[in-house]
Amino acid sequence: SDGPTEPNIKINQTGYLPNAQKKVVFPFDQGDCFQVIDANTNTVVYTAPILRKLYNESTKETTFYGDFSDFTTPGRYRLQSQLNGTSYEFEIQEDLYHNLLDQTVKMLSLQRCGQTLTADWAGAFAHEQCHTQIATIYGTDQQLDVSGGWHDAGDYGRYVPTGTKTVIDLMLAYQMNPHLFTDAIGIPESGNGVADILDEARVELEWLLKMQNGWGGVYDKVVTAQFPDFIMPDQDQAPLYIMQEMTTSTGDFVGAMALAYSIYQDIDPEFARRCLDAAKLSWDYLQSATLSVYTNPEGFSAGQYSDDNDTDERYLASAALYAATGEQKYLDSVKTIFQASADQLTGVQWKTMGSYGTYLMLKLSDVQNADSAFYQQLLSKLITDAEQVLNATSNDGYFVSLYSAYAWGSNADIANNGLILALANDIRANVNYVNSAADHLHYLLGRNSLNLSFVTNSGIHSPQHLHHRPASAANALLPGALVGGPDSALEDPVTQSMFNGDTAPAKCYVDDAESYSTNEVAIYWNSPLVALISAVENAN
């Protein structure tokens, strides 16, 4: 019979670092062998067996895999086997992900709000100042300037829960591997002597500072009542509303600001001090504030980001302030929350920020020295978080950790799980965490059942039709952006018309600008990718 016409061998389409583990996923037979072919000379340079037959509900596929980790020579290659045909070409190379890393950071720059973006660096995404009109605090006649920051996603809302997660990811990525972040990604601040990732994080931090009120509460978001049409941001003139202060957003804010104090101390002590003072004020506010849960008021259809649990945000706030100041009251708070609610403290999602707090505590040598019993509890918590991710990969045909739960933003769930492994590895080096973190990146860059690299402008096949207002309005492709990915809940009209309950969860994806539940992009989906790419690049 005819062989496959489109390559059906799944690889990271960008390729692999020379000393990294290298696995490939095949649709056909164990017992067959596969060859690595040098694409320039067309000669076989390596041969290995095809292994492990596995069936997964998430893909409704039977898969096999091969491992060519021992082959380390830089070059351009393809893989082939008799039954599976030939793969796309890919590279084995040092620094292979470096340009991608810059692009994934710059994606955030292209989301900037309140500034003029000029064509010399923003290309088709250039626009005049946007959303600079004075905003109204919803339900009052008070007005406030809350211009700046980033647009959240394909919409123009600016939300504290997701903005804080994004800056924390950027700062931690930098802190773990400062040497990987250049001052030359092509933004106005390039060449100013500060890594561009920190210039970019500061854009959002300055906005977050405006979202704090005089008594330390932090407003949840700035939105228009309805999502605008597919217009450029500077064309969106609808009234802006600031929505109520929340303990969840305030806790996130404290976490981001206290971490910013440590990160910017040597770069701009005055700014760092402002961040710390803001963090302290909001922490004090939190001590007497109680949880309320956001829902859109009548007539609003903005992103809700409702969070009904502020325990993890309070924990992060106390941990980050303890890391910044060493003051006993913050440590007491960390301990109290941890002892009472450790089970609520897992996660690096906008809604579940606990693992960041645990990580920040474990970075502190004085915790290890002065209170080794508590240090051990924290360590075992983060290791448990990482082991849970690792365990979830063991029966997955593509070596990722979602079982069959492919929800809205599944690609970000995968990036976040990779980030948990990277954080754990940063505390306790473990080759299994390194390899599995890389496996999560390989999935995002093409080694998945759709044979698609989910980051724009990477690999052979990547998304072209994003759900993103500027991209539609300018008829251009936003570079370096991770799309949401498969969502088996079918939450937009396009996926509803194409798929049904029988569709494999991991295949409920369509590269269509109208598919907001699978093909939107978002700041807090790119940021764990930035952290993941840099962690993988550093480890190999």
Is residue 438 within the footprint of Zn ion (CB under 5 A)?
Answer: no
- Give residue for tokens 């470096």: 98
Longest CA pairwise span in the chain (Å): 73
Q: Is 16 helix (H, G, I), strand (E, B) or coil?
A: strand
Q: Which of 303, 357, 480, 485 binds ligand 9MR (CB under 6 A)?
A: 303
Give the nearer residue to ligand G3I in terms of CB position, either 85 or 409: 409
Residue pair 270/182 in contact (Cβ under 8 Å)? The answer is: no
Is residue 512 within the footprint of ligand G3I (CB under 6 A)?
Answer: no
Which of the ranges 90-98, 125-133, 207-215, 422-430 carries the binding residues for Zn ion, by CB under 5 A? 125-133
* # of chain residues touching ligand 9MR (CB under 6 A): 7
> In whole angstroms, what is the distance from residue 537 CA to residue 399 CA?
19
CB of 168 to ligand 9MR, least distance (A): 22
CB of 231 to ligand 9MR, least distance (A): 12
Q: Which of 102, 155, 236, 310 binds ligand G3I (CB under 6 A)?
A: 155
Give the nearer residue to ligand 9MR in terms of CB position, either 152 or 196: 152
Is residue 236 within the footprint of ligand 9MR (CB under 6 A)?
Answer: no
CB of 305 to ligand 9MR, least distance (A): 10
Is residue 233 within the footprint of ligand 9MR (CB under 6 A)?
Answer: no
Contacts of residue 394, Cβ cutoff 8 Å, sequence gap at least 6: none
Closest CA relative to residue 356, chosen from 484, 259, 218: 259
Is residue 491 within the footprint of ligand G3I (CB under 6 A)?
Answer: yes
CB of 351 to ligand G3I, least distance (A): 7
Is residue 484 within the footprint of ligand 9MR (CB under 6 A)?
Answer: no
> In whole angstroms, what is the distance from residue 517 CA to residue 154 CA?
11
Q: Which residue is nearest to ligand G3I (CB)?
A: 303
Which of the ranges 35-43, 45-53, 149-157, 475-483 carries the binding residues for ligand 9MR, by CB under 6 A? 149-157
Is residue 504 within the footprint of ligand G3I (CB under 6 A)?
Answer: no
Query: What is the CB-side half-sphere exposure of residue 136 using CA atoms within 13 A?
Result: 9
> In whole angstroms, what is the distance from residue 360 CA to residue 362 CA?
5
> In whole angstroms, what is the distance from residue 37 CA to residue 301 CA?
53
Q: Is 55 helix (H, G, I), strand (E, B) or coil?
A: strand
Q: Which of 7, 15, 148, 154 binds ligand 9MR (CB under 6 A)?
A: 154
Give the nearer residue to Zn ion in terms of CB position, either 130 or 471: 130
Q: Which of 44, 293, 340, 489 binds ligand G3I (CB under 6 A)?
A: 489
Helical (H) or strand (E) element with 317: helix 311-325
Is residue 163 within the footprint of ligand G3I (CB under 6 A)?
Answer: no
As given in the structure block, the two tokens for residue 214 are: 């005089």
CB of 309 to ligand 9MR, least distance (A): 21
Is residue 342 within the footprint of ligand G3I (CB under 6 A)?
Answer: no
Query: What is the CB-side half-sphere exposure of residue 43 using CA atoms within 13 A?
Result: 3
Q: Which of 114, 409, 470, 479 binds ligand G3I (CB under 6 A)?
A: 409
Is residue 522 within the footprint of ligand G3I (CB under 6 A)?
Answer: yes
Give the chain's count of helices (H) and strands (E).
17, 14
- Give residue for tokens 């929340």: 246
Closest CA relative to residue 454, chosen from 411, 410, 493: 411
Per 3-state DSSP, what percentage of the chain is helix, strand, and coil (rounded to 5)?
A: 45, 15, 45
> In whole angstroms, what is the distance from residue 31 CA to residue 81 CA?
11
Question: Contact residues for ligand 9MR (CB under 6 A)?
Answer: 153-155, 227, 303, 516, 520
Residues in the site for ligand G3I, rule: CB under 6 A?
Answer: 152-153, 155, 157, 303, 405, 407-409, 488-489, 491, 520, 522
